[in-house]
């Protein structure tokens, strides 16, 4: 009995020590280089930035108030004053105000601060930004276009709560299970905009996050566990769109049996995007993606068709509340 009590006492002490350690150590500051990005006032550059922000790069799907997300989905391009909130086990995430307001927005941040967050996932205060925004390999020209557009918006005063880590998030940060995932090489200065698979690859991987949802991953730390574009990732219901269902992403590789778009021709693919959202609760930013132009949709289609076929059966897409999800 005494021995058991002693072991218990030691365990309690160890756990208490761990909790204190995590509380003290989690809030690490990270270093990353500042890209040489300067906002431009050229109207063509700003137009490209706006197109990316409300289209393929879909900043407007998260950086607007929760009750406005469906308006942006529907085509109202309101200022990016922040507010989307996602409550997940690591923490309560809040997408900040990206309008140039001095107190509540990006007014005090430099162009290089903004570009650094997008390329290295390090916040302006040095914190690790969770992997919601896979823009690390975006070209210098597109980074500049987006920053230029952000600067050109009207300032909107809108206080957004700061992201708050829960114990799990703090522990993951303390022990390095989550750290900023920046560029793996040197992103291109600019990319030729045309209908080739090569440009489609850039869009699907480095701009529109098709890769991030159409690949299976571990929800706690965001790590990829499946083959790229083979689908099967069960997305937790997005509170802004939720209809209570869970949606599982289909396999986009050209496998004859399990590839979801194997039988789609280019025009079918384009028409599907132009039609927008079918399921109210799908996390896919159909509204934003319906604004991707035909040239870029062709490029994405050609890229997906050029992938190696991967056999991965996604039995179905929609799962009701409480329904067992497919094994991942």
| Stated length of the chain | 328
Angle at the Cα of 64 (from 287 to 145), degrees rounded to 5? 75
Give the residue, chosen from 59, 69, 197, 299, that forms a contact with ligand HEC under the rule CB under 6 A.
Answer: 59
Pairwise CA distance, residues 287 & 54, whole Å? 9
At closest approach, how far in Å is the CB of 16 from ligand HEC? 28
Between 198 and 217, how does the x/- string for binding to ligand HEC read (CB under 6 A)? ------x---xxx-xxx---
Work out whether 143 is an interface residue with ligand HEC (CB under 6 A): no
Half-sphere exposure of 235 (CA within 13 A, CB side): 24
Number of helices followed by number of strands (H, E) in the chain: 11, 6
Residues 6+ apart with CB under 8 A from 111: 37, 38, 39, 147, 151
Size of the site for ligand HEC (CB under 6 A): 46
At closest approach, how far in Å is the CB of 143 from ligand HEC? 9
Q: What's the chain's Rg over C-alpha atoms?
A: 21
Pairwise CA distance, residues 19 & 25, whole Å? 10
At closest approach, how far in Å is the CB of 215 from ligand HEC? 10
Work out whether 289 is an interface residue with ligand HEC (CB under 6 A): yes
At closest approach, how far in Å is the CB of 88 from ligand HEC? 10
Helix or strand run (H / E) with residue 268: helix 266-275
Give the residue, chosen from 65, 100, 123, 287, that forms a contact with ligand HEC under the rule CB under 6 A.
Answer: 123
At closest approach, how far in Å is the CB of 129 from ligand HEC? 4
Q: Which residues bind ligand HEC (CB under 6 A)?
A: 53, 57-59, 61-63, 93, 95-96, 98, 114, 117-118, 123-124, 129-130, 132-133, 135, 146, 163, 204, 208-210, 212-214, 235, 247, 249-250, 252, 260-261, 272, 278-279, 282-284, 289, 300, 317
């Amino acid at each position: 009995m005494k021995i058991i009590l002693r072991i218990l006492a030691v365990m309690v002490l160890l756990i208490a020590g761990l909790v204190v350690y995590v509380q003290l150590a989690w809030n690490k500051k990270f270093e990353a280089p500042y890209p040489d990005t300067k906002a431009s006032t050229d109207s063509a550059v700003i137009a490209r930035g706006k197109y990316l922000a409300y289209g393929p790069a879909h900043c407007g799907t998260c950086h607007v108030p929760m009750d406005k997300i469906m308006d942006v989905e529907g085509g109202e391009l309101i200022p990016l004053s922040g507010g989307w909130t996602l409550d997940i086990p690591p923490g309560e995430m809040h997408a900040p105000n990206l309008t140039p307001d001095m107190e509540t927005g990006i007014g005090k941040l430099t162009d290089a601060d903004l570009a650094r967050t997008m390329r290295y996932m390090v916040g302006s205060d040095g914190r690790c930004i969770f992997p919601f925004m896979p823009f690390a390999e975006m070209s210098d020209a597109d980074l500049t276009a987006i920053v230029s557009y952000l600067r050109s918006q009207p300032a909107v005063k809108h206080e957004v709560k700061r992201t708050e880590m829960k114990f799990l998030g703090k522990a993951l940060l303390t022990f390095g299970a989550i750290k900023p995932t920046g560029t793996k090489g040197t992103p291109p200065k600019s990319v030729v905009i045309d209908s080739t698979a090569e440009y489609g690859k850039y869009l699907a991987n480095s701009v529109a996050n098709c890769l991030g949802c159409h690949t299976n991953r571990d929800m706690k730390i965001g790590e990829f566990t499946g083959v790229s574009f083979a689908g099967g990732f069960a997305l937790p219901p997005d509170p802004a769109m939720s209809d209570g269902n869970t949606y599982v992403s289909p396999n986009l590789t050209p496998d004859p049996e399990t590839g979801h778009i194997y039988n789609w021709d280019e025009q079918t693919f384009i028409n599907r995007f132009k039609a927008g959202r079918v399921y109210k609760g799908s996390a896919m930013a159909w509204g934003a993606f319906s604004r991707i132009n035909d040239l870029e949709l062709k490029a994405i289609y050609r890229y997906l068709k050029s992938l190696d076929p991967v056999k991965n059966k996604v039995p179905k897409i929609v799962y009701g509340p409480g329904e067992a999800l497919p094994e991942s």
